[in-house]
């Protein structure tokens, strides 16, 4: 299985740096926005541009619900990004 075949949440969890995570999330955000899967979610685009993934996730939960099957992969990807942003921020440097 190539990395392109993996779910986005797994790809995000494998980012080796904060910069790599940001690039992955930029690509993912463009794909999700182009697919119009989150068109009604309040502020999604602006939250993603600011890399405020917590607010983007909260907006989707408020608009579509936490258990929305249609948006579960979106919520999973945002949750993974939020988690790994924290993990990468705690890694020792050098």
Nearest one of 1, 61, 6, 2 to 28, comparing CA atoms: 6
pLDDT digit string, tens, across residues 15-25? 999 999 999 99
Nearest one of 90, 87, 92, 93 to 21, comparing CA atoms: 87
pTM, whole model, 2 decimals?
A: 0.86
Domain boundaries, the chain: 3-90
pLDDT digit string, tens, across residues 43-93? 888 999 999 999 999 999 998 888 778 889 999 999 999 999 999 987 665
- pLDDT of 31 > 90? The answer is no
């Amino acid at each position: 299985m190539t990395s392109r075949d993996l779910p986005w949440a797994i790809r995000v969890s494998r980012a080796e740096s904060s910069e790599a995570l940001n690039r992955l999330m930029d690509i993912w955000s463009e794909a999700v926005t182009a697919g119009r899967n989150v068109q009604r979610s309040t502020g999604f685009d602006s939250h993603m541009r600011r890399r405020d993934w917590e607010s983007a996730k909260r907006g989707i939960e408020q608009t579509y619900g936490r258990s929305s099957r249609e948006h579960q992969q979106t919520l999973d990807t945002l949750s993974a990004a939020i988690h790994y942003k924290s993990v990468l921020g705690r890694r020792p440097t050098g």
